[in-house]
Chain A
Amino acid sequence: DAGVTQSPTHLIKTRGQQVTLRCSPKSGHDTVSWYQQALGQGPQFIFQYYEEEERQRGNFPDRFSGHQFPNYSSELNVNALLLGDSALYLCASSARGMNTEAFFGQGTRLTVV
């Protein structure tokens, strides 16, 4: 079992650009959540996808969008990047209807310059 895999592991982008991050959930999981973790802080919930629809959303602007595919994998898109978007982006997968024990990937470190 490969667990939750994220790609890429590191990324450098310029202000104003757009970025797409990818996540493959753990086998048997159908729900994907995305988190942003700034330095020295806990993960902040961005949104959650289940059955290819956004089900929950945290306090993030519309520049943050996502998608879930039929195989449960997911993408996080961020448009018009700001310096403040520099952070570790974590993907977590879980099985809907189970206890909320989410499994996390290793994250994508995004640096905006």
Chain B
Amino acid sequence: DQQVKQNSPSLSVQEGRISILNCDYTNSMFDYFLWYKKYPAEGPTFLISISSIKDKNEDGRFTVFLNKSAKHLSLHIVPSQPGDSAVYFCAASAMKTSYDKVIFGPGTSLSVIP
């Protein structure tokens, strides 16, 4: 039962263009969403988060959009840089019931081509 889905295993984008990574979830109890970035041989690094009371959160080149009715969120990276090449994990938690238990999606491997 995959509660957090990332249906694109990989994505290639030209440097300077926009990268859009998508994520869908099934559990309506999820109320907090996060994106993590992972380089090889390293642990995941927190990137950006969004609470279910918002529909957008921006941090520099990274913006996360949340569509609660569609149970869908997306991460936009503008402009994309070669250093952004990594695996991106979408994650979710149900703060009110499961506190800090975070469920991860399978990840999307982003390649930014110079």
A residues in contact (CB < 8 Å) with B: 4, 31, 33, 35, 40-45, 48, 55-56, 58, 90, 92, 94, 96, 99-107
How far is B44's CA from A107's CA once the two chains are assembled, in angstroms? 9
Chain B proximity of A92: nearest CB distance (Å): 8
How far is B34's CA from A40's CA once the two chains are assembled, in angstroms? 19
B32 touches A100 (CB 8 A): yes
* Chain A, residue nearest B33 (CB): A100
Given A42-B91, A100-B32, A100-B102, 9 other A-B contacts at CB below 8 A? A35-B104, A40-B106, A45-B104, A55-B99, A56-B99, A99-B49, A102-B46, A102-B100, A107-B43
Contact residues in B for A48 (Cβ distance below 8 Å): 100-101
Instruction: Indicate whether B42 reaches chain A with its CB closer than 8 angstroms.
Output: yes
Number of interface residues of B (CB under 8 A): 26
With contacts defined as CB atoms under 8 Å apart, how many contacts are there between chain A and chain B in the complex?
66
How far is B108's CA from A43's CA once the two chains are assembled, in angstroms? 13
Q: Mark B41-64, 1 if CB is under 8 A from A, else 0.
A: 111111001000000000000000
* Chain B, residue nearest A59 (CB): B1
Contact residues in B for A44 (Cβ distance below 8 Å): 104
A43 touches B99 (CB 8 A): no
A33 touches B43 (CB 8 A): no
* Contact status of A102 and B41, CB under 8 A, knowing A42-B89, A42-B107, A43-B89: no
* Contact status of A100 and B43, CB under 8 A, knowing A42-B89, A42-B107: no
A43 touches B46 (CB 8 A): no
Instruction: Indicate whether B13 reaches chain A with its CB closer than 8 angstroms.
Output: no
Chain B proximity of A65: nearest CB distance (Å): 17
* Contact status of A42 and B105, CB under 8 A, knowing A4-B43, A105-B43: yes
- Counting chain A CB atoms within 10 Å of each CB, which of B89, B102, B103 scores highest? B102
* Contact status of A106 and B42, CB under 8 A, knowing A40-B106, A43-B89, A99-B32: yes
Q: Which of A40, A56, A101, A104 interacts with B43 by CB under 8 Å?
A: A104
Q: Which of A43, A56, A96, A99 interacts with B44 by CB under 8 Å?
A: A43
